[in-house]
Amino acid sequence: MKFSATSSIRAWFASFAALLFVSCEKNISIDLPSVPSQVVVEGHIETGQGAWVVLTRSSPYFAVIDTTALLNSIVKNALVTVSDGIHTDTLPMIFDPAFANTTYIPWYYKKINPTVIGQVGGHYSLKVVTGGQTLTAVTSMPSPAIKLDSVWFKLHTGSDTLGLIWAHLSDPANEQNFYRWYAKRLKKDKRYLAPVGATFNDKFINGTKFSFAYNRGSLPGSTAPDDNGPESGYFLKGDSVVVKFCSIDYYTYQFYASYELASESNGNPFGSPANVQSNIQGGLGIWAGFSPTFDTLTDKPHP
């Protein structure tokens, strides 16, 4: 049998590549630096409502996150105040039994009869004092709140029971707007939920009129049957749904847009790393202002 020079070279490269691959196999042990736990804020105020704030502590990246760990991370006995520049409310911590034994956090800070009520165009400051730490943030209510022109349910192609919610929006011209979409199924969802990608701006749609659709949001790690089967991400024909469409300020947009990007990149070797843009001074998280409008619908056809 004869061997050509070309075949010999190919064989040499194949052997070298195999040797290189084997020689590169090595167990690597990385000692990750210990990062101090930080207070994480999830709070908002919206038009016609008082403030709502959840406080937790951050966990190591590889820590096991389950219901027990989440409940243990809750920051209790903090001094939480909210001000509109004239009035100040101190928010007590309350327990909501409706969220007990669920993936929701049942402990949060909220005043039942607040003096500080969200108003369009208002500015609101948050201050949290806990464990010798002080956290502050400011948010605003965009003016005016932008209302959707129409909202409707449309069946998904190939299905006679499952579909998405569609909406038509006329974005105002000559101004910068930021939006966030929520929806809640009546008698099914305990709170408004935002699907992935629920936050957007009008950079490329300024002054235009267009239709768009959103799937149904769910909590991360939800074990509910409708979040882990064919119905996952879809609304069911006959559902009564309230759409909460929020106008938000730039800093609220920055947080939610960067949070969604980071969530999509997490665990994806091809995803671009992203830092969540917090507006909390002295901690992490978001203090948001929402100017919402509401639409209630069932499976009504396109208007």
Q: Is 201 in the same domain as 170?
A: yes
Backbone angles phi, psi at 10, to 5 degrees: -60, -40
Which structural domain, as residue segments, surrounds residue 91?
39-140
Domain count, the chain: 2
Tell me, yes or no, whether 132 and 234 share the same domain.
no
pLDDT for residue 1: 42
pLDDT at 136 over 60: yes
Share above pLDDT 90 across residues of the chain, in percent, rounded to a whole number: 69
Q: What is the pLDDT of residues 236-283, one digit of tens each?
A: 999 999 999 999 999 999 999 999 998 877 655 555 556 899 999 999
Q: Are residues 260 and 158 in the same domain?
A: yes
Q: Could you tell me if residue 29 is inside a domain?
A: no
Question: Do 106 and 185 share a domain, yes or no?
Answer: no
Query: Mind listing the pLDDT tens digit for each residue in 17-47?
Result: 444 444 455 666 666 666 688 999 999 999 9
Per-residue DSSP letter, 193: B
CATH of residue 122: 2.60.40
- Residues in the chain, total: 303
Mean of pLDDT over the chain: 86
283 within domain boundaries: no
In a domain, 5, yes or no: no
C-alpha span between 252 and 258 (Å, rounded) = 10
- Tell me which DSSP letter residue 47 carries: B
Final residue belonging to a domain, choices 120, 140, 160 = 140
Who's near 131: CB < 8 A, 6+ residues apart? Answer: 39, 75
Please check whether residues 167 and 98 belong to one and the same domain. Answer: no
**Half-sphere exposure (Cβ direction) of 278: Cα atoms closer than 13 Å:** 16
Residues 43 and 122 in one domain: yes
